[in-house]
Amino acid sequence: MNKDAERLIRDSWMRLVPVRLTAAQIFYERLFEIDPSAKALFDGKPMHVQYEKFVLTIDTLVQTFDFPASIITDLQLLARRHVGYGVHLEQYASVGAALLWALEKGLGSEWTPEVHRAWGELYLFVEGVMKREAAGTATA
């Protein structure tokens, strides 16, 4: 990811920080709309706790662009946990779609094609690392 994309992601995330928990709620609502099977993964769990975890994960990603090895390690650990939760590889696509949709809703007119590309690139990186790890975990 180039420095311009990193800057766009950091700047846009900082604009969302004041409403980050609302953005997380919008993300999950959209995810469950796109992929109703994902809702079963959260049955009985307090969603406000999940919103906090989601926001912390995004914040960590945004703040650690300069440390790719630690990002990869963190994502691999996250992928392993998600395998244990019952997440399927196909669900990563709906997560990406819900994420981009929620960011667009949260940023409004500040959601430009460049910002979309930058976040899309970041999610493709995250998805790639996590799916590779999940596939390896599932077969191990």
CA dist 17 and 59 (Å) reads 9
For residue 85, indicate whether it is catalytic.
Answer: no
Active-site option among 28, 51, 123, 133: 133
- Tokens 């790639």 found at: 128
Active-site option among 28, 51, 92, 123: 92
For residue 133, indicate whether it is catalytic.
Answer: yes
User: Which residues are designated catalytic?
Assistant: 92, 133
